[in-house]
Chains A and B, each alone.
Chain A
Amino acid sequence: MPETFNATLTVRHAAGLHARPAAQFVKLAGRFPCKITVRKLNSDKPPANAKSPLSVLTLGVNQGDAIELVTEGEQAEEALAALVALIESNFGEPAAAH
C-alpha cells in the first residue's frame, strides 16, 4: 500500500485555478511520477487528475475556493510540497490588494 499524502488549502489567485495558474499547476504536477488528484471542497465533484488541464479546468476552482490535494506513490511527499508551495506563493505573483 503506497503511502498517501494530502493537504487542504485555499486558492487566492484572482484567476482561481484556471488560465495561467492552472497551466502552471498542471505542468508542475506532470513532473512527478506519482498519482496526484485535486478536489474542490464544498462541491460534489469527484477528485480530478491534476496532470490533466481539462480535468483541472472543469473543477471550476475560483478565487477563495478551498481544495484538497492528494498524492500517492513515488515522490508523493515532494510532489505535494511543491504544489502546495506553488499555490501558497500565489503562483509567483504578489497577492492582489483588496
Chain B
Amino acid sequence: MPRYQGLPASPGIAIGPAFVYRPRQVAVTHHRVEDPRAEWRHLTDAIEMARTQLVALEARARQVAGEDEAAIFEAHRLFLDDEELLGRLKALVLEERWNAKAAVHHVFEQFAEALLSLEEEYFQARAADLRDVAQRVLKCLEGEEEDVGEAAEPVILVAEDLTPSDTIRFDREKILGIVTAKGGPTSHSAILARAMGVPAAVSVAMDLADIRNETLCILNGSTGVFSVGPTLHELELARREKDQWEAQRRVELGQAHLPATPRDGDHPVEVAANIGSVEDAEQAVRFGADGVGLLRTEFLYLQRNAMPTLAEQVRTYRRIFEVLGGRPVVVRTLDVGGDKEVPYLGTGHEPNPFLGWRAIRMIRERPDVLEDQFTALLQAAGELLAEGKPVDLRIMLPMVSSVAEVERARELFEQAKEGLAHRGKPLPDRVQFGIMVEVPSAALLADRFAPLVDFFSIGTNDLTQYTLAVDRTNERVSVLASPYHPAVLRLIEMTIRAAHAHGRWVGVCGELAGDPPAVPLLLGLELDEFSMAPSSIPTIKDLIRRWSLAASREVARQALDFSLAADVIDFLKAQTPR
C-alpha cells in the first residue's frame, strides 16, 4: 500500500475512509443567449442565493470559529453589492447577450487580475476572495445548494490545503483526522486539528489524484505517516497501536482536570492553554486547562477593513471570560505587524518584518489601539464581576524590548481605567500586568523589568528566532531554530531567576512548554506556568505528576552544561520520569 511521509501536526492515530476534498471548479463556456432578460433574471436570482448563503455562513462562522472567520464572509457579501461589478455584469448580459456564467467569470476575473497586478499581499488575498465568490455565484447559477458537511460518515479529510473558508464547511463531528499536501505545522489546517484534538499530518508528499474517496486509510499524526489502502496485517497493527495510544490518552484525559503536582512538590504547577478564539476557550476547559496562559487577540483585528468597535471587543472578551469561569486568563495585547499585516492599522510590507513595526512598538504612533483594548478588557471583566461572575484577568504586552514601553503602556492602562471610572463603569479591583519575554534584551534585563510587572511569560518561539538570528519562516534556515539551543536555555534560566528574586511568577507560552522532553528541564528551572495547545495539556500534566522536583533539578543542571542543541535534545529524550 502507498505510504506517504509528512510532518506530524497533531498526535494520535486515525483509521477510516478517505474523503478527498477538491473544491470543484465550475466549467464556463461562452455563448450568446436568445432571451437576455430571462438570463439577467437568472443571474440576479443566483446572486441573491449566493448572498443568502454568505449570510448563513457568516452566522455559522461566528458561532463555531469566531469573529475573524465571520468577517471573511461579510467581505464576500459586500463584493456582491458593488455597483460597478453589477453594472458590468448587466451590460454584458443585457447589451452583449452573454450567457450569465461567462459574464460572471469575465467580470470577476477582470477585477481579480487588476488586484493581482498590485503586488502587496493584501490585494492578492482580496483577489483570492473575489475568485471564491465567483465560484459561489457560478454554482448558484447551476442551482447547487451549499454543501456544508459533505461526508455522511466520519472520514479522514484529505486536501491540498485548507483555508478558513474551507474548514467552516465541514461538520467537525465527522472528521477523524486531517491530511494535507501543503502547509506547515503552524498552518491553519494544523492549528484546527490540534484545536479539535484529532490527528493530523501536513506537507504530506502525496498526489491527491492517487487517492480515492472511501479508501480505507491510516493516519499517524504522531509520526506524520499517512498510509492508503492498508493490508489486513497492517490494519491489525495500526488498530493495536491506536488502542494503546487511546488507552494512554484516556488515562491522561481522565486526570486532566486534576491539578498537576510533581511527586515531591507541595503545590501544583499551573498548566494552561494557548487560545485564539471562543471555541478554543471551550477546548481548553475540556482538556483540563488550569487557565489560559496566552489569549492571542489578533483574531479580533485580522481579515477586516476597520478597527473592531469597543462593543464588539467587549462582547468577545466577555464570552471568553465566561467560558473560563474564573480561571486565570493572560490576554496578550495586539501582536500584529511582522508576518501579520493589518492595513487599516498602518502596517505595511517591510524588508525585515520581524525586526520592524510590530506588536508593542505600535504604541507610539497608535496609542489609541492599545488604550481601546485595555478599555475593552477592563470593561468586560468589570461587567462580569458586577454580575457576580468570577474573572481573573491578566494583561500581557508582546515584543517588549525596553522598560520605556512598559511605563508608557502602564500610563495608557491607567487612562483606560480612569475613562471607565469617569463613565461610571464597574472595574475589576485586581488585574495583573506582565510582559512577554521574547526579545533577548528583555531576558537580559529581566531584573530591571521585574519591579515593573507582576509576571513574565517567555515566548520561546520568538526568543529562539531573535537569539539565534534565524528567521523561523525561512525554510532554508528554520532547522537551526531550536529552543533547546544552550543560549536560549540560558536566557530562560536568567529570566526565571530574576523574576523569582523579585517575587514574580514566570510562564512559558511557546512550543517548548508543550514538548514532552522539555518537562523535567522546565520543572527543574522552577517554571511556574506551562502554557500550550489545549490538546497537549493532558500529556504534559501526566508527565509533571510523574517527575519529582529533585530529579528535575538534576536534569536541568545537566542539560544546561551542553554546548549543542542536538546534545541537549538527545540527553532529554533519554530521561524517564523519576
A residues whose Cβ falls under 8 Å from a Cβ of B: 13-16, 18-23, 48-49, 51-55, 57-58, 60, 63, 96-97
Q: Are A15 and B346 in contact (CB under 8 A)?
A: yes
B residues whose Cβ falls under 8 Å from a Cβ of A: 78-79, 82-85, 87, 111, 114-115, 117-118, 122-123, 126, 130, 305-307, 343-346, 348, 364-366
27 residue pairs from A and B, CB less than 8 Å apart: A13-B346, A14-B346, A14-B348, A15-B343, A19-B305, A20-B344, A23-B305, A23-B306, A48-B84, A49-B87, A52-B83, A52-B84, A52-B85, A53-B79, A54-B82, A54-B84, A54-B85, A54-B111, A57-B115, A57-B123, A58-B114, A58-B115, A60-B117, A60-B118, A63-B348, A96-B365, A97-B365
Contacts of A20 in B (CB 8 A): 305-307, 344
Name B83's contact: one of A19, A51, A97 (CB within 8 Å): A51
Q: Are B83 and A49 in contact (CB under 8 A)?
A: yes
Q: Are A96 and B84 in contact (CB under 8 A)?
A: no
Given contacts A23-B305, A97-B365, contact A60 B123 (CB under 8 A): yes
User: Nearest-CB distance from B88 to chain A (Å)?
Assistant: 10
Q: CB-nearest residue of chain B relative to A16? A: B343
Name A57's contact: one of B83, B126, B346, B348 (CB within 8 Å): B126
Q: Are A18 and B85 in contact (CB under 8 A)?
A: no
Q: Roughly how many angstroms separate A63 CA and B118 CA in the complex, as a whole number? A: 14
Contacts of B85 in A (CB 8 A): 52, 54
User: Nearest-CB distance from B167 to chain A (Å)?
Assistant: 24
Contacts of A49 in B (CB 8 A): 83-84, 87
Ranked 10 nearest A-B pairs via Cβ: A14-B346, A52-B84, A58-B114, A60-B118, A20-B306, A20-B344, A19-B343, A19-B344, A15-B343, A19-B305
Given A23-B305, A54-B84: 7 more A-B contacts, CB < 8 Å: A14-B346, A15-B344, A15-B346, A20-B305, A23-B306, A52-B85, A97-B365
Q: Roughly how many angstroms separate A8 CA and B107 CA in the complex, as a whole number? A: 30
User: Nearest-CB distance from A49 to chain B (Å)?
Assistant: 5
Q: CB-nearest residue of chain B relative to A22? A: B305
Q: Are A96 and B82 in contact (CB under 8 A)?
A: no
Q: Roughly how many angstroms separate A13 CA and B366 CA in the complex, as a whole number? A: 13
User: Nearest-CB distance from A64 to chain B (Å)?
Assistant: 11
Name the residue among A48, A52, A54 with the largest chain B CB count within 10 angstroms: A54
Contacts of B117 in A (CB 8 A): 60
Contacts of A22 in B (CB 8 A): 305
Q: Roughly how many angstroms separate A97 CA and B305 CA in the complex, as a whole number? A: 22
Contacts of A21 in B (CB 8 A): 344
Q: CB-nearest residue of chain A relative to B79? A: A54
Contacts of B344 in A (CB 8 A): 15, 19-21
Q: CB-nearest residue of chain B relative to A98? A: B365
Contacts of B78 in A (CB 8 A): 53
Q: CB-nearest residue of chain B relative to A95? A: B365
Q: Roughly how many angstroms separate A74 CA and B366 CA in the complex, as a whole number? A: 39
Q: Roughly how many angstroms separate A71 CA and B28 CA in the complex, as a whole number? A: 38
Q: Roughly how many angstroms separate A7 CA and B78 CA in the complex, as a whole number? A: 28
User: Nearest-CB distance from B111 to chain A (Å)?
Assistant: 5
Q: CB-nearest residue of chain B relative to A15? A: B343
Contacts of B122 in A (CB 8 A): 18-19
Contacts of B126 in A (CB 8 A): 57
Name the residue among A19, A51, A63 with the largest chain B CB count within 10 angstroms: A19
Contacts of B115 in A (CB 8 A): 57-58
Q: Roughly how many angstroms separate A96 CA and B144 CA in the complex, as a whole number? A: 48
Q: Roughly how many angstroms separate A18 CA and B343 CA in the complex, as a whole number? A: 8
Contacts of A63 in B (CB 8 A): 348
Q: CB-nearest residue of chain B relative to A58? A: B114
Contacts of B83 in A (CB 8 A): 49, 51-52
Contacts of A51 in B (CB 8 A): 83-84
Q: Roughly how many angstroms separate A90 CA and B549 CA in the complex, as a whole number? A: 58
Q: Roughly how many angstroms separate A60 CA and B343 CA in the complex, as a whole number? A: 13
Q: Roughly how many angstroms separate A19 CA and B342 CA in the complex, as a whole number? A: 9
Q: Are A19 and B365 in contact (CB under 8 A)?
A: no
Q: Roughly how many angstroms separate A57 CA and B306 CA in the complex, as a whole number? A: 15
